A and B are shown apart, each in its own frame.
Chain A
Amino acid sequence: MTGSATEKLALAAIFAIAVIAPFLGAYYLTFVFTMLIAYVVAQSWDWLHGEAGYVNLGHYIYFGIGAYVFSLGYINELPVVVCFAFAALFTAGVGAILSYPLFRLRGDYFAFATLALLPLFDLLAANLKGITKGTDGIPLPPKGAIVMGVDVKVFSYYVALAVCVAAFFLTIWLARNKFGFALKAIRNDEQAAEICGIRIFPVKLKTMALGATFAALAGACYPWAYRYIDPTTVFGLNVALIPIAMALLGGTGLLWGALIGTILLGTMQQMLLVQISGFQATIVGIVTLLIGRYMPGGLLRARIVRGTPGLGALGKEHHERLGVRPAVGAAGEALAIERRTIDPDRTILTCNGVTMAFGGNIAVNNVTLEVKEGEILGLIGPNGSGKTTLFNLISKIYEPVAGEIRFDGHLLNGLRRDTVSHVGIGRTYQIPRPFSDLTVQENIAIPLMFRGDGGLARDAALAEAIKFARFAGLEARLFDRADALNLQQRKALEFARALACRPKLLLVDEVASGLTPAEVRAFVDHIREMRDKYGVTVIWVEHIISALSQVVDRLVVLEQGSVIADGPLREVMADERVLRTYFGGSLKEHA
């Protein structure tokens, strides 16, 4: 972490205030304690939202579960440390189990299902009277309120502070670690993340369980200090949403977002509580509404804050902190792709009777196809003839309804997308799908970090990514976000990202459409170079025959899901059926 002087100063100041607050009196102790707890919940919520893009509106249930488990252990006279451990482990388990159903959902559905968890756990806590004592709540015995002559609130305060510090440094670690890059890839495009070799579910589950653990630790501090717990204080809708509003007020996904948001909103809330009786939920509501309406990106991302010297450092996006600058290198430098020696007689890909149907519509019909190692195969056919569907079957976006696909000794049926990437299949999309809020460098570094062999370390991957960017002509845009690129650059980026998967087989989907003749020529050269220099086998779907004709060894024509021609370019182009269905005429008419 290359923290600036402002950041170090701010951190030291905040930490110093937090350390001395309990000595200033009971009011400040309670005041800051509330904020410490809120920060842990807000920050642990933001790991899933800011990094992975999932809006978990029910995150607060983990706080509640932690509080309840702690209290139940405590009234059964278990040692406090054991109570904390139980709270953390049990809640992590709940988070892990909930991950299985919840991560089948996305977007609004995920948000709503998680929000519905709050009333559900409220009901459970209120109605499972045998365990939770229902709405009466659980009072903690008064004899533990004073420990070694000191109010237990002080102990719980410093435990909460320690959890805060851990949460802050974990956030730094997450933002710069490979694990964090997996989350950032997931946030942008889950399918593309899988294509880059990331096994996404365990990453999401771990993040959920980690967030649950921290929220539970904060939850455990709460009844320890206040000696009482009941359903509405830990599962109520208005308390549950405040930490989320805090993280968003500061700036989601930013290192300082949750912390600054908690300090601002926490102070504001405290002052209002003193001033005003009643209408508290209204005030929370108004603040929530205004944050949502005017600054869902957060205060630290506001232009005025970023422009202020000193303050701007707090609003840095993660990639502004990476600091891996281009290494000096030659333009013709070799990529970190092993140079395979080609055996042109060896079959690398076999499709045998592959069929795909969507409802009654058969998109790919009994396709049998062999591709030799080192071959450049052109795949053409009218729109809707099943070319992209065939690609999607090979890269396991879809599972075929019939037939076998074998690649380099592996049966692909039943394999996951990340495994397919690991055995050596890379692809591009017809409409480019780069990770749009990551830089060009990060986009290319992600597959390098998540290769089948365990991948490169972060810095090595970022440095290596520069070579791929240079190869694809993107060196000048290295530190720009992918969503700032034009179409040609996005296509080039996708191509570079696919190469960074170190594919043995590269599936290229209409990379030349919409490009100028000069840009097309550059792609043709790249594809030829990949085969000649690195031994990569290529299947290229394209409508621009002039581009294909410069490199392909063989042409396969699909029509209505079936192969209608397969052979050398000249033969296929002369085929009467191909002329009729694809070129829209016959040789005789032209003659």
Chain B
Amino acid sequence: MTAIIAQLVISGLLLGGLYALVAFGLSLIYGVVRILNFAHGTLLAIGGIAASIIFAVYKLNPVLIAVVLVLVFLVFGYLMHIYLLDPLKKRNPFEATIGTVLVTVGLLLIISDLAAEIAGPTPKNIPLEFHAYIVGEVIIQRAELYILGGITLFTIALHLFLKKTWFGRAIRAVTQSPLGANICGIRSKQIHAQTVAVGCGIVAIAGVLWSLKFPVDPYGGFDLTVRAFTIIILGGIGNLVGALLAGLFLGLAEVFTSFLWASDWAPAVSIVLLLVILVVFPRGLASVRK
């Protein structure tokens, strides 16, 4: 029994850590630019599928694949902001809100459909064989250790990046007041675009790590966006540590729901959790702490 629970905890942490990575990007973009990117999780799907195809064709090292994909996603995010999202800011608030929703939902539909048409609708992953460690009755694959290590390193790196660098400080200034930051010599529009780019870049990493362990479903992206949104509401918008903890919690909750009840209901955990949190704390949990 303890072995089963240990195994479940490992899966939960793994899944939760990956959710948290997806949530980091969404949190960064929503926290700074105030744009809710409905296509965010779908980016992971297409990243994971691209990684699996690149691996199948060129047999590249997954780290190299990640580097390539991060660059592509950075450019994509930057262009998406400059050409699709930023122009909507000039409209009145009603039109800006609904416009942003339509643009990002449109992207979601396009990306997932293109991915499914090009790569086929069956889920894909990177079929690397890894050595497995056996501790007592618990089996740990080396890939899982890589993923956990990757998530940990990346969280620390991102935290330092946001706290210690000029860009991190500029981001925080722009979050407080885009106009104020502008007056102080920060180009808010550029910072916004770069933030969206970084947010998308993080998803690329999450996509590669994801495909090392789990198959990626081209249509599963929106469920991931819901999870990521639940995580940032639970952990606090713009709060990395909170998002990591919330992600791990959600991963464990889903794994145990599958085990104790039925795997069919696992996706419902995040939706129900999201609705409950939004209803009990309409301004997010972060407002309670303040």
- Tell me the A residues contacting B by CB distance below 8 Å: 49, 53, 55, 57, 101, 104-105, 107-109, 111-113, 115-116, 119-120, 123, 126-127, 187, 237-238, 241, 244-245, 248, 252, 278-282, 284-293, 296-297, 359
Contact = CB atoms under 8 A, between A and B. Distances in A.
Contacts of B275: 101, 113, 116, 120
Contact of B107 (A127, A248, A289): A289
**Size range of the chain B interface in the assembly:** 35 or more
A285 B38 contact: no
Majority-rule SS of A interface residues = helix
A105 B265 CA distance: 26
Given A112-B229, A113-B275, A296-B91, A288 B102 contact: yes
B123 interface: no
B278 interface: yes
Residue of B100, B112, B113, B222 with most partner-chain A CB within 10 A: B113
Contacts, number: 134
Nearest to A252: B98
B113 A113 contact: no
A453 B264 CA distance: 54
Interface string B246-277: 00000000000000001011011001101100
A282 B98 contact: no
B264 A127 contact: yes
Majority-rule SS of B interface residues = helix
Contacts of A116: 226, 229, 271, 274-275
Contacts of A57: 101, 105
24 contacts: A55-B97, A101-B275, A105-B279, A105-B282, A109-B278, A112-B36, A116-B229, A116-B274, A119-B223, A120-B271, A126-B264, A245-B102, A248-B98, A281-B112, A282-B110, A282-B117, A285-B105, A285-B107, A285-B108, A288-B106, A289-B106, A291-B106, A293-B84, A296-B94
Q: Can you list the 6 inter-chain pairs with the closest CB atoms, starting with the nearest? A: A292-B102, A289-B106, A285-B109, A288-B106, A285-B110, A281-B113
A281 B109 CA distance: 6
A127 B110 CA distance: 28
Contact of B84 (A105, A107, A126, A289): A289
A291 B101 contact: no
A279 B91 CA distance: 31
Contacts of A278: 117
Interface in B33-82: 34, 36, 38
Interface in B111-149: 111-114, 117
Contacts of B113: 279-282, 285
A119 B106 contact: no
A101 B102 contact: no
A119 B99 contact: no
Nearest to B113: A281
B88 interface: yes
Nearest to B276: A101
B36 A359 contact: no
Interface of B: 34, 36, 38, 84, 87-88, 91, 94-103, 105-114, 117, 222-223, 226, 229, 262, 264-265, 267-268, 271-272, 274-275, 278-279, 282, 290
B248 to A, nearest CB: 21
Contacts of B290: 359
A317 to B, nearest CB: 13
Contacts of B274: 112-113, 116
A168 to B, nearest CB: 22
Contacts of B102: 244-245, 248, 288-289, 291-293, 296
A337 B146 CA distance: 76
Contacts of B106: 285-292
A292 B117 contact: no
A416 B98 CA distance: 31
Contacts of A359: 290
Nearest to A106: B282
Contact of B110 (A119, A123, A286): A286
Nearest to A102: B279
B113 to A, nearest CB: 4
Contacts of A282: 109-110, 113-114, 117
Contacts of A105: 278-279, 282
Contacts of B98: 49, 55, 248, 252, 292, 296
B199 to A, nearest CB: 16
A123 B114 CA distance: 25
A257 to B, nearest CB: 13
B95 A119 contact: no
A277 to B, nearest CB: 11
B117 A279 contact: yes
A293 B87 contact: yes
Nearest to A253: B94
Contacts of A244: 102
Contacts of B101: 55, 57, 111, 292
Residue of B34, B38, B106, B262 with most partner-chain A CB within 10 A: B106
A113 B106 CA distance: 18
B103 A289 contact: yes
A237 B95 CA distance: 22
B272 to A, nearest CB: 7
